[in-house]
Each structure stands twice: as C-alpha cells, then as structure tokens.
Amino acid sequence: MDNIGLQKEESSGKGFARIATFVYAFALLVTAALVLLLGLPYARLSHTLITLSALMLGETFLYGITLHYLANRPRSRRLIPVYIAMGIVAGLYWIGAFVFAMVFSWALDVSTFHYALAQFMILGAAAIVLGLLAMYMKNAALQEKGS
C-alpha cells in the first residue's frame, strides 16, 4: 500500500512540474509579446532588450524556486516559509524591473548605460536577498536533519 502512495506522489510531482513548465513557457511568450508590442514603438531597442531580459530573468527566478520546491517536496514542506519568502523576493524583483522600465525607459528615457545600471542594481539587490534566504534554508534544513 505504501508503494502505491509513493508512486502516486512521485507522478503527481512530475505532473506539477509539467504544469509549472507550461505556465513558465506561456509567461515567457506573453512577456516577450507584450514587451515587444509595447516597448518597441516607444523606446530604444537596447532598452527593450534590457527590459525583456530583466523580466524574463524574474520569471526564471520564480520558475526555479517552484521546481526546487517540487523536487524536494517531502523536505520542502517544513521549509515552506523560506520558499514563500524566496517567491516574494523573486516576484518583487519582477515588479521592480517592470517599474524601472516604466519610469527610467519609457517616462524619463535615460541613457542605455544608466538604464542598464539601474536594472543591474535591482538584480543585485534581489540576488543578495535570495542568497541570504538560500543560506537560511540550508541552515534550517541542516538543523531539521540534526534534530
């Protein structure tokens, strides 16, 4: 009986991963279409490509966190607060990249160098917070394993 339940759990985990992959691919296509549709007529090509890269990177962060959770599901359930925090940080990065695009590229039309620097700064801030959360998650997992 246990073996059947284990097989169901593994197959459902793969099913969730497939669903997450489909959502990720669809989100990338929608993001690319919207940025190219809305960005190209109003902004420089370099700004559009930087915006597209930043938004796709934010979506990739969310997708990576989701797959990591699904791959480590039995252990991940105890670490759900860390996964939620990582998802929030990745989502805030995506929102921040979008807001930076609206303000610095479309409204203020700053130079490409300064726009790339602003996007890189928000990426660095998100990477630092995600790195700290990853260290916390590793420490919490080790403590959970030890006790």
Three-state DSSP state, 60:
helix
For the entire predicted model, the pTM comes to 0.85
How far apart (Å, rounded) are the C-alpha atoms in residues 105 and 108?
Answer: 6
pLDDT per residue as tens digits for the range 84-124 = 999 999 999 999 999 999 899 888 889 999 999 999 999 99
Using one digit for the tens of pLDDT, what is the confidence trace for 42-78? 668 899 999 999 999 999 999 999 999 999 887 777 8
Domain ranges of the chain: 2-146
Quick check: helix, strand or coil at residue 8? Answer: helix
- H or E element, residue 2: helix 2-39
d(CA 104, CA 61): 23
List, in order, residues 6 or more apart from 43 with CB less than 8 Å away: 51, 105, 106, 109
